[in-house]
Amino acid sequence: MPGVEAWSPRSPRLYELELRLFTAEDGASPMDDLIERVGFRTVTTKKGRIQINGEDIVLQGFNRHEDHPLVGAAFPLPLMAKDLDLMADMGANSVRTSHYPNDERFLDLCDERGFCVWEENHARGLSLEQMRNPNFIRQCEQVNKEMVLQHGNHPSIVIWAILNECASDTEEGRVHYKRQLEQIRALDRDPAAHLRLSSPGQGALLRSCRHRLVQPVPRVVWKRGSRRAVRPGEKLGRCGRGSR
């Protein structure tokens, strides 16, 4: 888009978008309006690496759980900002919303500060027996739909993820992964692509990323200072407050 400065972790440029809704009966005054901030960027994978706006990037960050000894999961904005302050102070440039979509305000802060976000749905650690629950498919589809449609305009979100450490080591379980990824691809026309990742003891995981997959999936380094490339989904010690 001519004249637009791209959003990036180093320069998180945002633009204010104002929308007004008019009725056919009264076109003179709006019946509703919305002011939203948006950013413009591209995400690609080439030669086994991730690029934002054509530049290679290594994601270094934390699994963040909304869990606090005083406020529980009801985080006020200052605590959200404090979490990002702590992560930035340790050299992080990304955060994983393990394991649920996060508060809109937290995503706004990530947009402002240039943090890359890996956002995922609620379902996690489910056995095949639990995935056979008659409500499982419907509830996951609803969560995925809400996540993508509500948060899809945040430039900080570069990865959609699903079903953390569920029964992906079974044929029946992989059917669920495929179904949900196809749903996300239909919702996010960025377009989304399938990512196949490994998780210890869990077999092959299918994830969805908000860009077209043109090369094998790059390994993402999450542990600061480590020389070892860690696959997303792998458990790390001390990888974020409240992680278990």
pLDDT, tens digit (0-9, with 9 covering 90-100), for 38-88: 999 998 878 888 899 999 999 999 999 988 999 998 999 999 999 999 999
| 193 touches 206 (CB < 8 A) | no
Q: In this predicted structure, what is the pLDDT of residue 93? A: 96
First to last CA, the chain: 44
pLDDT above 50 (res 205): no
pLDDT above 70 (res 201): no
Q: Active-site residue 165, yes or no?
A: yes
What the block records as the tokens of 142 is: 């609803």
Q: In this predicted structure, what is the pLDDT of residue 190? A: 61
Q: In this predicted structure, what is the pLDDT of residue 222? A: 38
Residue 177's region, left for phi above 0, alpha for psi from -120 to 50, else beta, is alpha
| 160 touches 207 (CB < 8 A) | yes
Confidence of residue 234 (pLDDT cuts 50, 70, 90): very low
pLDDT, tens digit (0-9, with 9 covering 90-100), for 83-102: 999 999 999 999 999 889 99
For the chain, percent of residues with pLDDT exceeding 90: 51
Q: In this predicted structure, what is the pLDDT of residue 175? A: 92
Question: Degrees (nearest 5) of the Cα angle 72, 66, 116?
Answer: 160
- Residue for token digits 């990824």? 181
pLDDT above 70 (res 111): yes
Q: What is the mean predicted confidence (pLDDT) over 118-124?
A: 89
Report the SS3 class of residue 48: coil
What does the alpha-carbon distance between residue 14 and residue 112 come to, in Å, rounded to a whole number? 7
- Going through the chain in order, the beta strands assigned E by DSSP cover 15-21, 32-38, 43-46, 49-52, 55-57, 61-63, 94-97, 116-120, 157-161, 193-199, 203-209
Which one is predicted more confidently, 211 or 36? 36
Instruction: Sort strands 49-52 and 55-57 into parallel, antiparallel or unpaired.
Output: antiparallel
| The one catalytic residue among 112, 141, 165, 234 | 165
pLDDT above 80 (res 5): yes
Q: What is the mean predicted confidence (pLDDT) over 188-197?
A: 47
DSSP per position, 164-216: BTSSTTSHHHHHHHHHHHHHHHHH-TTT-EEEEEEETTTEEEEEEESS---SS
Query: How much is the pTM?
Result: 0.75
Range with the poorest average pLDDT among 23-27, 90-94, 99-103, 131-135 = 23-27
Q: Judging by beta carbons within 10 Å of its beta carbon (0-12, 13-18, 19+), is residue 223 exposed, middle or buried?
A: middle
What does the alpha-carbon distance between residue 189 and residue 13 come to, in Å, rounded to a whole number? 22
